[in-house]
A and B are shown apart, each in its own frame.
Chain A
Amino acid sequence: NAGVTQTPKFQVLKTGQSMTLQCAQDMNHNSMYWYRQDPGMGLRLIYYSASEGTTDKGEVPNGYNVSRLNKREFSLRLESAAPSQTSVYFCASSLTVQNIQYFGAGTRLSVL
């Protein structure tokens, strides 16, 4: 009964380092999303994948790339981390776009 699983849960990076956040869902959902959440800013959409094989930019895509590896997995990559990318990152999935979203537990990222 895992739902949406994100790894890692915590990460500290130095400026300029790269890393990939992993997300997997076991609900056979078509759509997957990556959000960042900053204090007072709410959830902001970074990228989403409406269906396997497609990805689209959200509200704040700069500095990020994504890969929809298969129907289950959607990864988020930071090529050269910046302190402004310090945030909590949430992955979510839904049956289709506009349906109810199910969220992972989040990844807390600090960039020093």
Chain B
Amino acid sequence: SQKIEQNSEALNIQEGKTATLTCNYTNYSPAYLQWYRQDPGRGPVFLLLIRENEKEKRKERLKVTFDTTLKQSLFHITASQPADSATYLCALASNKFYFGSGTKLNVKP
């Protein structure tokens, strides 16, 4: 069956460090992969999209990589700030849309 895995344990890091979140998938051939941010009590908000023929995408302090051989995407936040604390969801666009369960990031001052 198709599956998307994100680390269910919260990631706790110190302000200023780089946060790295992982999204692994099986049995998909996604056209592309997206990352969303979700704050408590709110709907997810789109952050970045990376296509299957792209290795890396950047936007300000955010960087996403996509390895279709490993079936993995990494999401990096450099120079992290307490305001980056949230849950981050990856989503695959194949014939439909599939979301991972998300990883909660806590950035401590």
Chain A interface residues (CB < 8 Å from chain B): 4, 33, 35, 40-45, 48, 58-59, 90, 92, 97-98, 100-106
Contacts and interface: CB of A to CB of B under 8 A. Distances in A.
B101 A98 contact: no
B86 to A, nearest CB: 14
19 contacts: A4-B43, A41-B101, A42-B6, A42-B89, A42-B102, A43-B89, A45-B96, A45-B97, A48-B97, A58-B96, A59-B98, A90-B44, A97-B93, A97-B96, A101-B44, A103-B43, A106-B41, A106-B42, A106-B43
Contacts of B49: 100
Interface of B: 4, 6, 8, 31-32, 34, 36, 41-46, 49, 89, 91, 93, 96-102
A40 B8 contact: yes
Contacts of B4: 42
Given A45-B98, A97-B93, A103-B44, 10 more contacts: A41-B101, A42-B4, A42-B99, A43-B99, A45-B96, A45-B99, A90-B43, A101-B97, A102-B46, A104-B43
